[in-house]
A and B are shown apart, each in its own frame.
Chain A
Amino acid sequence: QVQLQESGPGLVKPSETLSLTCTVSGGSISPNYWSWIRQSPGKGLEWIGYVYFSGSTSYNPSLQSRVTISLLTSKNQLSLRLTSVTASDTAVYYCARGGLAAQFDPWGQGTLVIVSS
C-alpha cells in the first residue's frame, strides 16, 4: 500500500524559500501524477500543482510564478519549492498521488510550515 510522508523545516522566514520533500513508500513514482496541496489554518484546501512521472508539471495560476515541483525518481521522492514566502503561505502542506483527471489518493499526513521572523 502506497504511503506518503512529507518532511522539511517547520519555520521559514518571510521572503525566503520554503522547501519540502515527500517520500513515497510501498509503490513507485511511475506512472502517476503527484500533487502538493495546502491548507491554511481554519481554511479550505488549495491545490498548489502537480508533477507527472515524466517530469511535466502544472501549477495553480495563483502561485505559478513562485512554485517549482520536481521529482527525485532515484529516491522515490517529490519536492516543493515556494519562493518569496509571506505569512499567507503559513499552512499545512500535503503531498498526494493524483492530478490530471485523477482523484487525490492517498495523501500524506501533512506538515505544518509557519512563515515568521
Chain B
Amino acid sequence: QPVLTQPPSASASLGASVTLTCTLSSGYKYYKVDWYQQRPGKGPRFVMRVGPGGYVGSKGDGIPDRFSVLGSGLNRSLIIKNIQEEDESDYHCGADHGSGSDFVVVFGGGTYLTVL
C-alpha cells in the first residue's frame, strides 16, 4: 500500500499563495489523492481529488476557486491563492488502495497551515 508524506507545517502571509505537497511512495505514481481541510476543532471537509494528470471530479461544497491542485510524478499538490484567515487549517491527503479484502485507505500525517 502507498505511504503518503506531508510536511507537518507550512506558513504563508495573508493574500499570498502557498503550495502544500503530498508525496506518494515509490511505485504509486498513477494513484489519485483526496485533499481534506480541517479547521481547528472541526471535522474534515473534502476539498478535491487530484490524479497524475491533475484535477479529478468535482470540488467539495463551498470550496472557493482560490483552491486548485496539481499532479506531477509522485507529488499531489494543493495550491491556495490569495490566502485568507479562514484558510488556517490542517490539510490532510488520503488515498485508497486495493479491492475486496485487501482494500485500505491511507492518510498522510497532515500539514498545518498558519496564516501570518
Q: Which residues of A contact B (CB under 8 A)?
A: 1, 35, 43-47, 58, 60-61, 94, 99-101, 103-110
Contact = CB atoms under 8 A, between A and B. Distances in A.
Interface string B46-90: 100100000001001100000000000000000000000000000
Contacts of B57: 103
Nearest to B46: A105
19 contacts: A35-B105, A44-B108, A45-B92, A45-B94, A47-B104, A47-B105, A47-B106, A58-B101, A61-B104, A100-B99, A101-B96, A103-B57, A104-B46, A105-B60, A105-B61, A106-B45, A107-B43, A109-B42, A109-B43
A107 B44 contact: yes
Contacts of A94: 43-44
Q: Which of B104, B105, B110 has the most CB of A within 10 A?
A: B105
Interface size class of B (residues with CB under 8 A): 20 to 34
Contacts of A107: 43-46
Contacts of A109: 42-43
B94 A104 contact: yes
B107 A100 contact: no
Given A45-B92, A45-B94, A58-B101, A104 B107 contact: no
Contacts of B103: 58, 100
A39 to B, nearest CB: 9
A45 B43 contact: no
A47 B46 contact: no
